Every structure is written in C-alpha cells, then in structure tokens.
Structure 1
Amino acid sequence: MFALQQFAVIHALTFLGQNALGSEIINGKIAPDNKMLYMASVRNNRGYHICGGFLVSENFVMTAAHCDLNPKHVVLGNHHLRNTDKLVIQIAEKYKHPCYRNVGHGYDIMLLKLSRPVRPCRTIKFIRLPFREMTLNEIEKCRVAGWGKINTRGNVVDDLRVVRVSVISPQVCRERWGGLPPNIICAGGYNTTKGFCQGDSGGPLVCKGMAVGIVSFNKRLPGTELGNCNYPDAPNVYTDISKYLNWFRRILQGEKS
C-alpha cells in the first residue's frame, strides 16, 4: 500500500516538470501527548497507517484527496501508532473534492465521515478551521505534524512528530516550482532544513491555533522515488483550506459534493 501511495503521487506533477511526494516530518520533535489532540491516523482494511488527518467536527476527519488509498477507519486519541489505548472508528463515507484529479491539478482535499460521532474528551479534541478566506503573512510561523521517516533514507517512526515552519510567499513559491495548482499555501522546505517529505500526507498546517492547510506535495530526490528530505530547492505545498469552506459546509449540511 505504501508503494501504491508513492506511485500515485509521483505521477501527479508532470505539468510542473517535477515529481511530488507526500509527507513525513523532517528535523522536528516528538509531539507532547497532551498537545495536537485533533490528529488522526487514517488506516486501510489491514490496519496499516496510510495517511494523517485531523478531527474537524464530531462526524468528520479532514485529510488529502490523494490519501484515497482504501481508507477504512481512523485512529484517534493517541500519538503512538502501536499503542493499544486508542479510539478506532470506521469510515462510513468519504467525500473527495469533485474537481480532484491529482495533486498537480489541486483540489487535494477530502472529508471522511465517521460511522459514529466523536465527543471531545481528555485525549481527543477538534481543531478550528478558518471561518472565511484568508491570506497568511509571509514568514508567519506555523506547525506541521505527521508520522513517518525522519530523513530521506531513514526508518518510519511510531511517535507523532511536529516541526515549526515559515510561510513562503506565493511569488517565491511559483518561481521555485515553475507553476502551481490553484488554492495552495507554501511553507517550509525552501531555504530551510525543516518541513515534510515522503511517507505521511494529509496532516494539517496549523497557524494561530487553526488548521489552515493540508499536506499535499513536495519534490522527490532526483533519480529516485524518495522524497528529497536533505533538503528540497522548492517550498513544501499545502492545500489552502480557507478556499474550500463552502464545499465543506455543503457536506456538513448533507449534500454529496
């Protein structure tokens, strides 16, 4: 399944002239157990972690559309993937943005409807979303979190990792990529050694206590199928959640797309 995820994302950015991969956290630290309690592990029918996600209401986890790799359930309430003290909830329905084709064309956002409501508790919280379209200030400090490797050729880890990244201007981002899909945020990667890479997409970019972005894509190491974690010459790219609020509200109201 992990190989399938690599294959699906690697072929997505041909119009940009670059290859892209989903995320793992680079040069971060282990997240405290009492923080980021909205994080979710999205898993397939074999129980394998395939992507990150985040709890945005009692019925929905948000993640990336390219994480549509046979997701069957989510795990909440624990930052340690192998810990048995956690809440496992089946996915009742998935709502991928109807315009999504691949990460290179944008619209990389998906909602997973849970089979039963989740109530906030000591180990599980919701995260706020923007309430209107917004533009982040350049160099604003945000956080990104996920599970996965901690360097290009390293091993995966079981503990949630988090790292601080700075927002990068859209102009610089377009120049470094040579073009970009619509409705994205750039943060981390370029001119730094911190950010995300291959291994765990769908996690949130968190700024001022809100989930403003979803981990979407990054460059790969030339000549390989590995994310360039040592580190890329282009910014990390996230889906801008604030541009999809109307779509999200329609789904909350019971519409199908």
Structure 2
Amino acid sequence: MFRLHTLLFIVLACSVQKALGGEIIEGKEVPPNSLQFMASVQNNGKHFCGGFLIKKDIVLTAAHCFIEKRSNLTVVLGTHDLSNINERTMRYNVKKCEHADFNNTSLASDITMLKLSRPSKIKPIKLPNKKMKIKKNTTCLVAGWGKIKSQGRKVAKLREVDVATIDRRTCQREWAKAKKDYVLPANIICAGGYGTKKGACQGDSGGPLVCNKMAVGIVSFNLRGNCLYPNVPNIYTDISKFVAWIDYPKKRCQI
C-alpha cells in the first residue's frame, strides 16, 4: 500500500527502497478471480510493488517504487496468485510516466503511470472526479501481495484488509507527535494504521485504496517501515488531485 525535510525524510525514503514485497497487516486472502484490476509490478519477474488498472492500457502505481533503478520492468494482470502466471496472457511490458512534481524525499506527488504494451481485457477500476472528497471514517479496502507482518514471510496470494479513513487534522497531529515539526505532503489521504491493527505496509506501495468501488488513493508510506499497528496513520496519494494529469499525460510524458 509502500516511504520520506530532515532526517525523518531520509530514513523513510531509505525504508521505501528496502521494503519490497507487498505487506497487508491483519488481512485475509482474496477469493480467486476477485480484484482483477490489481496489478503486480515486477522487476526481472519478481514482484516489488502493487498497481491497478485504470484504463485498458494504463496501470497506476507509486512513483517511489522506482527510486531504485529497475532494469527489466513488467506488469502482471489477471491473477490473485503470483505462483500461477500465464506468461503469454498475463505479463505485459510497460513504459513509465512519473509525475514531474514527484519528490523522492518528501514523497509529494507520489504517482506514476505505466502504459501497457497491449490493451488488457480486464475491466479497469473507476477513479474519482477532481471534486471528490472522502469523508473521515469511510470504510475502504487496501490490497497487496507478500508479507503478512513486519519482517515476516512473503506470500504469493493477494490479500486485502478493510481500513477507515482519518481526517487530515488528526493525521497531521499524530505524525507531529511521532516526529517533531513534521508536516505531511499536500494531496494525501490518511487511512489505517492508527487506532487499529489493520493497515498497509511499504511493500504494498502502489496499490489502491478502494472506497465505494473506486480507487481513491495510492499506497505511499508509513512511519519508518513500522507495521506494528496501532501507530500513526498510513499515507496514500489522493488520486482526485491528479485526474487532469492522468487524462492528459501526453502534455507531460511520452507514453
């Protein structure tokens, strides 16, 4: 669902690069053939971040997933089980389009598009419009592959967990308690990790926060890779603030 002005940012940014593997905390395995829009973003055939299909040939994910250089980037769609991949039909080559305002220290504008080498037959998930605001305490879903606890083992089958959204004032207050003078980036949503044992972890980075059957957020970061919740709220990129960029990428990227 995952990384960050000071030493805090440096520590978190480093944690981002190390925490690869897709962690859902206190979640459950999804039924086969569900959440078909979920994408596994892979390097040399190995999962390192999540993503999700938003158009027939576009997957959305987190920009921080590519702080570390990736040499052989592909996306897998159409399976909840990464140990059961049809290479011919499920794997796609991609071209990457990172948001120009992405800051790899603060993780502001933590969003990237991946253009698939061919259209997918899978139904994309809907996105919010630019005016949409998610109310606090909205129950949402986050999903990802990999570990089921901090420093735990990786799993191949997709897992999901319900999390509640948290208002920005509370979110900022809790982060400022944890790290003095810390200010959250703009254009984010807070959900899970606070007041509950449920949440995402860095390895879920790039995956969607799904509310009311729409992908409203992208897993961005938590505090120093600590997934022993309750802790401070998890942070997601607010997709509604980037709708114009998603719709008109050719003005900014050649994909």
TM-score above 0.5, yes or no:
yes
TM-score between the two structures when normalised by the length of structure 2? 0.86
Asked whether 1:37 is paired with 2:41, we answer no
Q: CA deviation at 1:14?
A: 3.4
> Which secondary structure state, in structure 2, belongs to the residue aligned with residue 132 of structure 1?
coil
Distance 1:244 1:72 in 2: 24
Unaligned stretches of 5+ in structure 1? Answer: 1-5, 221-226
Distance 1:18 1:30 in 2: 33
Distance 2:202 2:9 in 1: 18
> Which secondary structure state, in structure 1, belongs to the residue aligned with residue 222 of structure 2?
strand
Unaligned stretches of 5+ in structure 2? Answer: 17-21, 177-182
The equivalences for 1:7-22 within 5 A come to 9=3, 12=4, 14=6, 19-20=11-12, 21=15
Q: How many residues align?
A: 234
Asked whether 1:169 is paired with 2:162, we answer no
TM-score between the two structures when normalised by the length of structure 1? 0.85
Aligned to 2:184: 180
The equivalences for 1:25-64 within 5 A come to 25-44=24-43, 46-64=44-62
**Residues 136, 166 of structure 2: 8 Å contact kept:** yes
Q: CA deviation at 1:16?
A: 5.3
Distance 1:19 1:197 in 2: 15
Aligned to 1:112: 114
Residues 54-87 of structure 1, C-alpha deviations (whole Å, 9 max, x = no match): 0000110000001124261100000111113361
Q: CA deviation at 1:152?
A: 1.2
The residue identity in structure 2 corresponding to 1:78 is T
Aligned to 1:224: none
Aligned to 1:236: 234
Q: CA deviation at 1:125?
A: 2.2
**Residues 94, 112 of structure 1: 8 Å contact kept:** yes
Which deviates more from structure 2 when the two are superposed, residues 30-39 or residues 53-62?
30-39
Distance 1:126 1:192 in 2: 30
Aligned to 1:3: none
Q: CA deviation at 1:133?
A: 2.6
Q: CA deviation at 1:29?
A: 0.2
> Which secondary structure state, in structure 1, belongs to the residue aligned with residue 171 of structure 2?
helix
